[in-house]
Amino acid sequence: MPGQDDFKPGAGGVGGTGSAGGILEYIRNSPADEFIIGTEQGIFHPVHLAHPGVTLYLAAEELLCPNMKSITLEKVLYSMDNLETKVSVPEYTAVRARAALEKMIEYAG
């Protein structure tokens, strides 16, 4: 499963860092039923779908990314069809992003 091995527990096994998949896996394997989430609040929905009895607390009200909320499939399709809204990133970032996209396509296929 993508993300399951990339969550790194913090000191004493409390907290940690990782992808959304890693966070879901951490919650699945944890005996706790309450968690403080220090990432974008968009993780709440998939966590509640997978673990309905879990209580989540947002670490800070500011953990909402308005840019993520403004991206729609229609806007992505428009950008791809018209080759607009070009984004330039350093080569290192492009290599990692390309690998992630290729994995997503592989899993979807």
| Structural domain includes residue 42 | yes
Give the domain range for residue 103.
71-108
| Structural domain includes residue 65 | no
DSSP 79: H
Same domain, 75 and 46: no
Same domain, 51 and 89: no
| Structural domain includes residue 77 | yes
Q: Per residue in 16-30, pLDDT tens?
A: 666 778 888 888 888
How many independent structural domains does the chain possess? 2
pLDDT at 12: 46
| Structural domain includes residue 3 | no
CA distances 40 to 11, 58, 67, 68, 108, Å, are 22, 9, 11, 9, 24
Q: Per residue in 73-84, pLDDT tens?
A: 888 888 889 987
Long-range contacts of 74-80 (CB under 8 A, 24+ apart): none
